[in-house]
Structure 1
Amino acid sequence: MTRQSEEAAAKAGVVVRELREIDEFREVYRLFDQIWHPDPHNAPISVELMIGFAHTGNYVAGAFEASTLVGASVGFRAEGGALHSHVTGAVMGRGVGYALKLHQRDWCQERGLERITWTFDPLVRRNARFNLVKLGAMPEEYLEDFYGAMADAINEGDVSDRLLAVWQVAPEDRGQEVSHVEALPALLASEGERPVIRGVQGDRVLVGTPRDIEALRRTDPAAAKEWRTAVRTVLGGLLGGGGRVIGFTDRGEYVVEVD
C-alpha cells in the first residue's frame, strides 16, 4: 500500500484487505443489504458473483474495524487496461469509502491497470463532490436509465440515469482546478427545490443539482422527477454534444466546458 492509502485507512480506523473466504462474501452481502435495503431480487451483487470475481483475479475488498466489516468494494477488469468498480458501500462520515478507493487504486497500480471506472447518480450531490473533488475522477459519459428499474430504498421510484466516472490510476493525473466559477453562467439552476433551465451561453457553464435528491424523492416526488428530466436534458445534452465536465463547485454545480 502507498503512504496515502495507509494514512487514509488509519484515519478511518480500518484495515482494508482483499477478501477470499465465503463467510467474508456473506458479510459483504449483509452490509450492502443494510445500506441499500434492496428487494431480494435486486441485490447489488450476489455471493456467488463475488466468489467468481475473487477467484478469477478481480477486485473484492473489505474495510474492517477490528473484526467488523464497515465497507466493501467489488470490481472487475474491463477493456482498455481498466478496472470497473461495480459497487462500493461503506458507513458514512468516517472516510471509509475514501480508504477503500485508495486501496483500489493501489491494487490497480500493482497490476498495471491505468484507469478505474464506475457509475454514479448525477443528482446525488455528495457523491459527485466525492468523485470529482476528493478523488479527481471525471465523468465521460451520460448513461440514460443505465440499470433499468432499481427496487431499493435509495433509488425506488426513479429512473437509473448515471454518469460514467473515469479515474486515472497515476496519482499525478488529477482533475484540473477550476477558478472563478462564481462568474460562470448557470445553464441549470435551482429556485427553491425546483430546477430552472436558463437560456445562457458560454465556453464554460454551470449545471446545478438538487440539495438532497434522496430526501426530495420522499417529500416531493414531482420535483425529483423534474430534476431528473432537467439534468438529463442539460448535462446529458452537453456531454452528448462533445462537452466535458471539468469540475464541481462548492454550491453543487457541475462545471462543463462546452465544445
Structure 2
Amino acid sequence: MSDVTLRELHSLEEFADAVRLFDDIWNPEPGKRPITVELMRALSHAGNYVAGAYRDGRIVGASVGFLGTPAGQVLHSHITGTRGGRGIGFALKLHQRAWALERDLNRITWTYDPLVRRNAHFNLAKLGARPEEYLPSFYGVMGDAINTGDESDRVLAVWRLTEPPALDAAQGVPCRPPIPPGALTGLSERDGRPVAGRTDGRTVLVAVPADIEALRHTDPATATAWRHALRDVLGGLLREGARVTGFHDKSCYVVERNA
C-alpha cells in the first residue's frame, strides 16, 4: 500500500471527511449516523484512536476506537470503513495494532455481523482475531442500506496482539486451522436455506450463506432464517464454552469444544 498514507485525524475537516465516507458506505437513515463529527472530535481529544487512510489526498478509509476495559489493556474498535481498493482495511488494522502496542495495550476488540462471509474471513483468517461472545440483536433492528431491517446480531471479536495468530497476520501469513477427520457439520446450506446438524462432536463446522447482504434484499425470509439458525448454533456453542479457532474455506466457522 505504498500509495496510501495512514495517519491519526485531528481537525474538524478530517472528521467531516470520515463521516462522509461512512455515510457513503452505510447510507444510514436520517439521524442515525454510526458516528458524528462532534463525537470523533471528543474521542480524539481524549486520546482515543481516530485515523484515516488517504490516497492522492482523498480519504479512502477511516477507523474510530476508544479505550475499553480492563483499563490499560484494551482498545475497542467501534467503526472501520474503506473504499477504493483491496488492502486498505488490512493496512488500517495494522496501523491500529501499532497504535495500541505503542500504548502497551495487548488486545483490540470489535463487533461484526457473523453472517457476512468476507468479514469473518478477514477477521479470523487474515487478522487472526477470534470471536469470543455472541451478542443477539446488539444494536436492535438496523435500517441502513447494508442491514436493511435485519436484527443486528454480532459477535465480539478479540484480537490478541502478541499471540501467534496476530503475529503471523502482521507478516501476511493467514490463519488456516486444519479440519480433523470426524468433524461434524453443525450448520449447512441446502437449496440456499440453513440446515441444522449435529453439534456434539469435538470439532463442529458452522456454515454461513454466500451473500447475506444480497439475500436480505432478494429473500428476507430466508435471510431471517439464517440469522436465527446461526444464533442457535454458533451462539449456542459459544455459550457452552466452545472456541472458534478459524474460518475454513471462506465459508464456515471452525469451532472446537473442550475435551
TM-score (norm 1): 0.92
2:99 aligns with 107
1:6 aligns with none
1:137 aligns with 129
Gap regions ≥5 residues in structure 2:
169-174
Asked if structure 2 preserves the Cα contact closer than 8 Å seen for 1:140 and 1:165, the reply is yes
SS of 1:42's partner is coil
1:218 aligns with 217
2:16 aligns with 26
1:77 aligns with 67
Asked if structure 1 preserves the Cα contact closer than 8 Å seen for 2:125 and 2:176, the reply is no
2:78 aligns with 86
1:17 aligns with 7
Separation in 1 of the partners of 2:254 and 2:85?
25
Asked if structure 1 preserves the Cα contact closer than 8 Å seen for 2:118 and 2:250, the reply is no
- For 1:4-31, what per-residue CA distance to the aligned partner results, in whole angstroms no more than 9, with x for missing partners? xxxxx32xx3100000000000000100
Asked if structure 1 preserves the Cα contact closer than 8 Å seen for 2:148 and 2:217, the reply is no
SS of 1:190's partner is strand
Report the more deviating stretch, 91-100 or 143-152.
91-100
Pairs within 5 Å for 1:1-259: 9-10=1-2, 13-80=3-70, 81-91=73-83, 93-170=85-162, 172-174=164-166, 177-180=176-179, 183-199=182-198, 201-259=200-258
Moved over 6 A (4+): none
Asked if structure 1 preserves the Cα contact closer than 8 Å seen for 2:188 and 2:207, the reply is yes
Deviation at 1:180, TM superposition (A): 3.0
In structure 2, give the amino acid aligned to 1:49. L
Report the more deviating stretch, 44-53 or 178-187.
178-187
Gap regions ≥5 residues in structure 1:
1-8
Deviation at 1:179, TM superposition (A): 1.0
Asked if structure 2 preserves the Cα contact closer than 8 Å seen for 1:181 and 1:249, the reply is no
Asked if structure 2 preserves the Cα contact closer than 8 Å seen for 1:137 and 1:168, the reply is yes
Deviation at 1:185, TM superposition (A): 1.4
Asked if structure 1 preserves the Cα contact closer than 8 Å seen for 2:130 and 2:157, the reply is yes
In structure 1, give the amino acid aligned to 2:148. E
Deviation at 1:76, TM superposition (A): 0.2
SS of 2:140's partner is coil
Separation in 2 of the partners of 1:103 and 1:251?
25
RMSD over equivalenced CA pairs, Å:
1.5
In structure 2, give the amino acid aligned to 1:31. L
Separation in 1 of the partners of 2:228 and 2:165?
33
Instruction: Report percent identity of matched pairs.
Output: 55
